[in-house]
Structure 1
Amino acid sequence: MIFIIAIIFIAFLTFIPFLHVYMTIQFQHAQDNDQFTIDVRILRIFHYRFVVPLIEISKKEAGVVTEQKTTTGKDEKTTFTVTDARERLAQLKQWLNQIVHLHTIMKKFLQHVSVLQFQWHTQIGVGDAAKTAVLVGVGWSVKYYMVAMISKYMNVCITPSISIVPFFQGAVSRTSFTCMIQFRIGYAILAGLKVVKHWKKDM
């Protein structure tokens, strides 16, 4: 019995690298009611959802206020300030500097990532026609650049759907972003091992 269980376990471990991971990234923005969601799915066995509701901008502390439900069911508000962002970026930069050839490792990994869905639709207006037109032009430039970069480093399997609709009658800011990617667990494990290997070299 133990031998059979061991065989099944080994076969399962052998099969894991060939499993596909499906990750869906969504960002919904409507005036001051925003939400960021990441869904990770592996077959029908594993599903994890990470949700960050961005409910308002804190003028007092110059940051973003998020709201999460605690284990007791109560809503808990947390402010992520500009100072917090600078500290996180500094820590990230320090960590990235310790990894040799990180760009090459990530580039090779992204070659095995497939984009299955890419939608980015925006409606924007500031109440002034000239300023709105300028913002729309900048928005199109940003979106085209994003699509170009994704197409350069990943396998885009669909035609990206993007749009910007100007609103001249008043101040409006709405955007809906959805991106689904797919990759094999084995490629992610390989990239992770390379990161650890090159990080240890630099220690």
Structure 2
Amino acid sequence: MMGWLWAAAVAAAAVAALLASRVRIKLYFSRVGSDDHLLVEFRALYGIVRYKYDVPLIRFHGLIHLFDVKTERVDRKKDVLLDEKDSDISIENIQDFYRQAKLFTKRIEDFSGWMKWTVAKVRCTQLQWATYIGIGDAAETAIATGIIWGLKTSLLGFVFRYLKLDARPELLVQPQYNRKQFSVKLRCMIHIRFGLVLLAAMLLAVRFMRANRDYKKTKTKLESNPAG
């Protein structure tokens, strides 16, 4: 009997530890000249699950066919390249994604409320955002510097109305008076408890099943009484 109690206690402690663990996401983006680089690192369950998504190549082509993107997915724990692919992002892709996302969110009861609740559980523990701007003219560079400062503070003010910030953001806008330049370096780290991720997923699943059930009921009713 005592053995079963000990086993149950150990199992409960293990489950509690897993639920209390953090899901960490690191984001790094840089644009220097015409070279763009995006790196996303994902870590969960005390490092048992680790993945890195590396986008070393982003090429801009125009307003219709926007970008060519090369993506690498790496298992950081084993330091193994899992897959590598080239894809493109176009106006048509974005419009199709927007239509599907709109249909999905429209069917979910109070999706915006669920989203706000979930985002409020996410915490930002690091934010570094540096911009280097040069127009070629000192006066115009000074004006552009002020505009970028305003855009940054306004954007972050809006974001952190919903997202919790646990660290002071490190912001920099460095004017380059003697040359033309536009470079960006962004580093961000966020985390959320694994238990909250599961809870958010379950809440969304329940709302989706409820919406799907109501949709089927309404469809059946309309089919059985088309004149009504």
TM-score of Structure 1 vs Structure 2, range by shorter chain: 0.7 to 0.9
Return the offset for 1:11.
Answer: 5.2
Q: 8 Å contact 2:63–2:91 — kept in the other structure?
A: no
Deviation string 1:156-193 (CA, Å, 9 cap, x unpaired) is 11111111122233331210111111210111111111
Give the greater-gyration-radius structure (CA). 2
- 2-side partners of 1:157 and 1:48: how far apart? 24
Change (3 A) 1:112 1:61: closer
Identity %, equivalent residues: 22
Does residue 1:160 correspond to 2:169, yes or no? Answer: yes
TM-score normalised by length of structure 1: 0.82
Does residue 1:119 correspond to 2:122, yes or no? Answer: no
Counterpart mapping for 1:21-170 below 5 A = 21-42=23-44, 43-59=46-62, 62-68=65-71, 77-129=86-138, 131-170=140-179
Return the offset for 1:148.
Answer: 1.2
Deviation string 1:52-87 (CA, Å, 9 cap, x unpaired) is 233321249531111246999998643221221222
* Runs (5+) with no aligned partner, structure 1: none
Change (3 A) 1:89 1:138: farther
Change (3 A) 1:54 1:40: same
Matched length: 203
Question: Secondary structure in 2 aligned to 1:86?
Answer: helix
Larger deviation, residues 10-19 vs 151-160: 10-19
Return the offset for 1:123.
Answer: 0.8
Deviation string 1:122-179 (CA, Å, 9 cap, x unpaired) is 0122334455444433322221123213332222111111111222333312101111
Question: Secondary structure in 2 aligned to 1:197?
Answer: helix
- 2-side partners of 1:40 and 1:73: how far apart? 14
